[in-house]
Structure 1
């Protein structure tokens, strides 16, 4: 278990995050090395393979899913209210799912260009 937590810690250091202990979840009285919002975003992005099984999701939904995090972040920035870690995680998760939709939609668009435009998908990657 110690090796797994050490690996998680080293991988988390690659994520550009402020790592403020007050905005991180705590495990065994130690802060996780990534803030709640960034953790939510990563969890949302991790679900992008599941979205490939759905028909292409309209890209406007991806834009809509960014709004909760923006509202939470800006209202906290301007000190109109105080956010908490579960809310930060939830809005980050919603945003991450929206980013996953961007990834899947972009892949569908590239695939359509490759199959209908006479350009092979592999030539777009090189």
Structure 2
């Protein structure tokens, strides 16, 4: 099944900004791949470390994680420089981490679970380790013939994009239900 047209809704898919694995370009560019993988793995790490929605988030910290992607994107848009895929991946990953923090915190507030100290603390260590490990694999697998890597990264991108879209829908539904029952 060709998923490129579907993923084009979420990404420009420019070949010069997309990782190439098994003689094929991945379904999303390096930055979008970083966003989706960053969101997916960071959300999992937050759940594993803190449990189900028990922490609040420092919103300024979460939004600060988006700043590197904005700087990278704007410097390219104004032709000040051309970014590399590994930079796009890292800045996208940090933005995905930001979305995971905010997503986690919003669900905590909506479900009104007891909240403890604010994030982040030591969860950044495993999150950064996952990012560096995946970036290493991506960089070393350029033009490789290992079909598993292509399927792995494409699957994570698709699953994370779907999870993110449905997550936003669920957040709106939870918020609507909470407002409806408590107003």
TM-score per shorter chain, which class? 0.7 to 0.9
Which runs of no fewer than 5 residues in structure 2 stay unpaired? 115-173
Other structure's SS at 2:10 match = coil
Deviation for aligned residue 1:56? 2.6
2: CA distance, partners of 1:122 / 1:79: 43
Deviation for aligned residue 1:10? 2.5
Select the residue among 49, 60, 64 that pairs with 2:44. 49
2: CA distance, partners of 1:92 / 1:72: 10
Change beyond 3 A, Cα 1:42–1:12: farther
Q: Which structure is richer in relative contact order (CA contacts within 8 A, separation 6 or more)?
A: 2
Q: Over residues 58-99 of structure 1, what are the superposed CA-to-partner deviations in whole Å (9 max), with x where a residue is unaligned?
A: 122110100000000001110111101110011000100001
Deviation for aligned residue 1:125? 8.8
Aligned match of 1:37: 31
Number of matched residues?
114
Calculate the TM-score normalised by the size of structure 2: 0.55
2: CA distance, partners of 1:10 / 1:77: 27
More displaced stretch, 11-20 vs 70-79: 11-20
CA RMSD of aligned residues (A): 2.7
- Report 1:1-126 matches (<5 A): 10=3, 13-14=6-7, 16-47=10-41, 48-52=43-47, 53-54=49-50, 55-112=55-112, 123-124=177-178
Deviation for aligned residue 1:20? 0.6
Contact 1:37–1:88 under 8 Å retained in 2: yes
1: CA distance, partners of 2:175 / 2:92: 32
Calculate the TM-score normalised by the size of structure 1: 0.77
Change beyond 3 A, Cα 1:59–1:11: farther
